[in-house]
Amino acid sequence: MLSNYLKTTLRLMVRERAYTIIHLVGLALGLGTCLVIGQFVRHETSFDGFHENADQLVRVLSTSPGRTPGVNQPSTLGPTLLEELPGVEASVRFDGGRYDILMAVGETRDYENGLIYADANVFEEFSFLLQQGDPATALVEPYSIVITPAIARKYFGETDPVTRSDCETAWI
């Protein structure tokens, strides 16, 4: 029975080559489009999924004509959203990636780029894990910083960076 259906289908496909090609191209384009859309959706929903309250986080982007969307907002946007929109419970402002900073610890001096500035409540809203230090007090003081283990080794060696207070930074 199945072989009869296959023979009939193949004969029809050979006899009607133009329709066969049109149908196969349409099927391939449809499947390819579905795969691309599926990958796009998977990629877009993969960000910040590790945070405890990931379903409550919203990222605000700004757009300008002729430019790609960006995350740099006016500094008053966060407090304004808290006041004006009743559904907003907290706001964390991020800024950075554009600055080079000269970091100096003792004799070690080097330029670091890609730094991100954040509000002090960043660890209350996002569940980033710190290897050392207290997330509640990490960014409370002015000019305080959270660094990666690689940067800690670069400037502090094997000494504890949390207890040191001889660091200087300069804007470039």
Q: How far apart are CA 11 and CA 17, in angstroms?
A: 10
First to last CA, the chain: 79
Q: What is the pLDDT along the chain (172 residues), one digit of tens a residue?
A: 889 999 999 999 999 999 999 999 999 999 999 999 999 999 888 877 788 888 888 888 777 777 666 666 778 888 898 999 998 899 888 877 677 888 888 788 888 887 888 888 888 888 888 888 888 888 888 878 888 888 888 888 887 777 666 555 444 3
Q: Do 105 and 62 belong to one domain?
A: yes
Helix (H, G, I), strand (E, B) or coil at 46: coil
| 125 located within any domain | yes
| 49 located within any domain | no
Q: Is 118 exposed, middle or buried (0-12, 13-18, 19+ CB in 10 A)?
A: middle
Which residues have CB under 8 Å from 127's CB, separation 6+? Answer: 50, 51, 52, 53
Q: Do 8 and 59 belong to one domain?
A: no
- Its pTM surpasses 0.85: no
Q: Do 86 and 8 belong to one domain?
A: no
| 126 located within any domain | yes
Q: How far apart are CA 61 and CA 110, in angstroms?
A: 32
Q: Do 136 and 87 belong to one domain?
A: yes
Q: Do 16 and 62 belong to one domain?
A: no
CA nearest neighbour of 118 among 95, 91, 141: 95
Q: Do 17 and 84 belong to one domain?
A: no
Q: Do 6 and 67 belong to one domain?
A: no
Q: Domain count of the chain?
A: 2
Q: How far apart are CA 6 and CA 72, in angstroms?
A: 60
Position 94: which residue type? F
Q: In this structure, what is the dihedral angle of CA atoms 110, 113, 118, 122, given to the nearest 10 degrees?
A: -90
What residues make up the domain containing 91?
Answer: 54-171
